[in-house]
Amino acid sequence: MLFGRKHKNPIKIADKGVVEWKYTTCGYCSTGCSIEVGLNKTGDAVASRGVGSAPVNQGKLCLKGIFEHELFKSAGRGSAPLLRDKRHDPFKAVSWDQSLDKVASEIKRIQDKYGPDSFAIVSTGQIMTEEFYTLGKLSRGVIGTNNYDGNTTLCMSSAVSGYKRSFGSDGPPGCYDDFDDTECLLAIGSNLPEQHPIIYWRLQQAMEKRKFPLIVVDPRVTMLAQQADIHLPITPGTDLVLLNSLAHVILDEGLEDKAFIDSRTSDYESFARLVEQYDPITSSRICGIDEDTIRNVARTYARAGAAMTIWTMGINQSTHGSDGVVGINNLNLITGNIGKPGGTSLSITGQCNAMGTREWSSCSGLPGYRALENEQDRKDIANYWGIDEEFFPKKRGLFQTDIFPAIETGQVKGLWLIATNPMTSMTNTPRIRKNLEALEFLVVQDAYADVETNEYSHAYLPAAVWAEKEGCFTNTERRVNLIRNVIAPHADSKPDLWIFNQMAKRFDQGKKIKFPETAEGVFQELRELSKGRMLDYSGMSYEKIEAQGGIQWPCTEGDETGSPRLYTDGKFQHADGKAKLIPLPFVDNNERPDEDYPFWLNSGRVVEHFHTRTRTGKIGNLNKFSPTPYMEMNPDAASELGIEHGSYARLTSRRGDAVVMVQLTQRVPPNMVFVPFHYHDCVNRLTLGLLDPHSRQPAFKQCGVHIEPAADQKAASVRNKAARTY
């Protein structure tokens, strides 16, 4: 029986005077919920509701989605372009022509003086796919800088790198429907109920219909861990050891899928030799999970008819993030769990369009999963755009996390930030502040003028937000969904697409290349460029996407619907058509707690806030849940230090300090604290962020801190001063 769902009893919603509902897609997390925004008779957005027929959310929304229409009128929005000669001077409001001319001339000045790569561009996972593609065309085809990347290096780059190493291409192979078929779910470093509430609802629904084991690996007792049949409170940063050990037990006990290994994978021998070293006894001493539990989990997973693993930042944000992803893929390959219903490696993505940037932004290469390193790919795109192929570099440039250090060394002199707020979201923000202050020119393009990073800029370009514009997002399960333009952009803010197009016109090469004016015009280029490729969009159109509540790629020309899974034919994207089993030795290089800094500092998110709170901090119904920076701390550890619930404490690391309010909870072990990263001048003043060697993603979640009581509550409130307005 389905709890409470036997009889449908729709909730009555207060009449807000809606005269028209417009289709769109949520702009927060990567779940990809279809939303309708209600407009009243004066054209104001007054309500949001889930789309009942949408396959992802089936009428549901989480609390962020329910209040999303309030974004349009939220505080701190940018109303006009702003310029100033010196950072920290007052800004002057200027016209779009003045601001775009200034930015274009600074880009040219810096590139002429210091070389093309001295001007860097860092974007996001939160603008539309058509905007990503256009920005890629502008950066790679017109401006010609190779130091172009996105904040997805903080988020998904380990997943991208791991998929490429194992399967020969990026692209999450599974889907949410897999919950309905799986016989065992392993969730590693992913807290669905708070970070992907509607994916969690899908999982709950599947578990209510048919019980299957849920195994959660997380150092905290998260909301998901509370639902688990087995919870593995792993020692931070050691998931790879656990994964190697699970493989060890499976091979040792002959539980592997030999036919799958033989026909679908390569390099089994070297992989098997490596995991031999990871017996459960040795491994338990490193990863903190006892040997019996390791054996039990390995057997449960391998014996399930279909088993799947999901993961998010607990894996990706680590010095072995990419190896962790490959370790998950290894586990699924040896048990034959790729490309079948309920058997998959599904990276739960983060931002609403983290996938769109991977597919189309050209950050790591060229559009449509093409590589700069591949001659044919360079030729194809150069021909399509109508430029000389020699204009493209033959190798990708710096990752986002290497661009900031390149400012220190003088390689990078100018920076354009688009929809990202590194002064709050990057590790070791005292260092980022110095980097930004060393730039000759910084331009910030954001929907909010009060975004902290804008304090350091010379130019600010006000962007339209979410459904003030039109275009597509791709969600975690490769579903391309549509954001219809619901309302006009706030004041004189403009869609990012318009800004990129206007910028292109200010460069000689930009005048030669076609830049379609509308998002749908750009979408036609995506259809053409993806035809016959893995991420085929050619069967899609805006109308079809809206009618179906999103379409999963590949959707080839003539197809009516998309494809729920990849690799169902057992053919992978490596040259030999096989998936690679890769041996992964564990290197322990994290900062660990010691005598001076005795606590693990863990960080992440809570359900009511999104990232650096430029949006959710302004929406009363969300912000009031947690307006103050705080940490979760274990009551035993707190009482030893004389720290009380609701008091303040100062955290100190080798990088900096932060004052937070204390929330005592058994969710964290005595040697760890957890701080949501949503607050400015807070957890990222402390984080170290060593980088993964393959993906260059920072280890946001592992470093050592010292804790002491802080009497001075005022200091805390000054430090976390309210957002400024310009």
Ligand X SMILES: Nc1nc2c(c(=O)[nH]1)N[C@H]1C(S)=C(S)[C@@H](COP(=O)(O)OP(=O)(O)OC[C@H]3O[C@@H](n4cnc5c(=O)[nH]c(N)nc54)[C@H](O)[C@@H]3O)O[C@H]1N2
Q: Which positions touch ligand SF4 (CB under 6 A)? A: 26, 28-29, 31-33, 57, 61-62, 64-65, 196-198
CB of 464: closest distance to ligand X in angstroms? Answer: 6
Q: Which of residues 459-498 bind ligand X (CB under 6 A)?
A: 463, 465, 496
Stretch that binds Mo ion, among 7-15, 153-161, 403-411, 595-603 (CB under 5 A): 153-161
Residue 474: exposed, middle, or buried by beta-carbon count in 10 A (0-12, 13-18, 19+)?
Answer: buried
CB of 662 to ligand X, least distance (A): 18
Give the CA count within 13 Å in the CB-facing half-sphere of 480.
32
Q: What whole-number distance in Å separates Cα of residue 449 and Cα of residue 446?
A: 7
For residue 611, the partner it binds in ligand X, ligand SF4, Mo ion, none, with Cβ less than 5 to 8 A by kind, is ligand X
699 forms part of the interface with ligand X (CB under 6 A)? no
Among 677, 696, 704, 716, binds ligand X (CB under 6 A): 677
Q: Whole-angstrom Cα distance, residue 134 to residue 484?
A: 18
What residues contact 718, with CB distance under 8 A and at least 6 apart?
A: none
Q: Which does 222 bind (CB under 5 to 8 A by kind): ligand X, Mo ion, ligand SF4, none?
A: ligand X
**Cα separation of 438 and 441, whole Å?**
9
147 contact choice in Mo ion, ligand SF4, ligand X, none (CB below 5 to 8 Å, kind-dependent): none
Instruction: Provide the minimum distance between the beta carbon of 391 and ligand X in the complex, in angstroms, as a whole number.
Output: 26
Residue among 198 and 631 whose Cβ is closer to ligand SF4: 198
Closest by CA position to 72, among listed 621, 448, 420: 448
Q: Is 150 in the site for ligand X (CB under 6 A)?
A: no
Token readout for 464 is 């339209």
CB of 507 to Mo ion, least distance (A): 32
Among 35, 634, 700, 706, binds ligand X (CB under 6 A): 700
- Residue 26's binding partner out of ligand X, ligand SF4, Mo ion, none, with CB under 5 to 8 Å set by partner kind: ligand SF4
237 interface partner picked from ligand SF4, Mo ion, ligand X, none, CB below 5 to 8 A per type: ligand X
Does residue 217 belong to the site contacting ligand X (CB under 6 A)?
A: yes
> Is residue 321 a contact residue for Mo ion (CB under 5 A)?
no
Closest C-alpha to 447, from 482, 415, 426, 420: 420
Q: Judged by CB, which is closer to Mo ion: 65, or 510?
A: 65
Q: What is the C-alpha separation between 395 and 372, in angstroms, rounded? A: 5
DSSP string, 59-78: T---HHHHTGGGGGG-TTB-
Whichever of 348 and 601 has its CB closer to ligand SF4, that residue is 348
Please state the closest distance from residue 461 (CB atom) to ligand SF4, in A. 26
| 601 neighbors 651 (Cβ within 8 angstroms) | yes
By beta-carbon proximity to ligand SF4, the closer residue of 31 and 501 is 31
Asked if 445 is part of the footprint of ligand X (rule: CB under 6 A), the reply reads yes
Residue type, 322: S
* DSSP tally for the chain: helices H, then strands E: 26, 26
Per-residue H/E/C for 3-35: CCCCCCCCCCCCCCCCCEEEEEECCCECCCCEE
Q: Which stretch binds Mo ion (CB under 5 A): 349-357, 374-382, 430-438, 568-576?
A: 349-357
With 0-12 / 13-18 / 19 or more C-beta atoms within 10 angstroms meaning exposed / middle / buried, residue 8 is exposed
Nearer to ligand SF4, 66 or 122 (CB): 66
Q: How far apart are CA 413 and CA 407, in angstroms?
A: 6
Which two tokens mark 468?
């003030």
CB 283 within 8 A of CB 594: no
Q: How far is the CB of 578 from ligand X (least distance, A)?
A: 28
**Applying CB under 6 A, does 456 fall inside the site for ligand X?**
no
Binding-site partner at residue 337 among ligand SF4, Mo ion, ligand X, none, CB < 5 to 8 Å by type: none
Q: Which of 193, 213, 350, 629 binds Mo ion (CB under 5 A)?
A: 350
Token pair, residue 288, equals 């903190």
Site string for ligand X, 586-605 (x = CB under 6 A): ----------------xxxx
Torsion on CA atoms 543, 544, 550, 554, rounded to nearest 10: -130
Q: Residue 559's CB: how many other CB atoms inside 10 A? A: 15
Size of the site for ligand X (CB under 6 A): 60
Rounded to 5 degrees, φ, ψ at 217 are -110, 110
For residue 29, state whether it binds ligand X (rule: CB under 6 A).
Answer: yes
The answer to the question of residue 684 lying near ligand X (CB under 6 A) is: yes
- What's the gap between Cα 34 and its chain centre? 19
Residues 6+ apart with CB under 8 A from 11: none
**Residue 104 interacting with Mo ion (CB under 5 A):** no
User: Could you tell me which residues are beta bridge partners of residue 48?
Assistant: 37
Residue 132: both structure tokens together = 């990503």
Q: Is residue 25 within the footprint of ligand X (CB under 6 A)?
A: no
User: Are the C-beta atoms of 132 and 356 separated by less than 8 Å?
Assistant: yes
Residues that bind ligand X (CB under 6 A): 29, 124, 126-127, 151, 154-155, 188-191, 194-196, 217-220, 222, 234, 236-237, 239, 312-314, 317-318, 350-351, 418-422, 425, 445-448, 451, 463, 465, 496, 602-605, 607, 609-612, 614, 677, 683-684, 687, 700-701
Which chain residues interact with Mo ion by CB under 5 A?
A: 155, 350
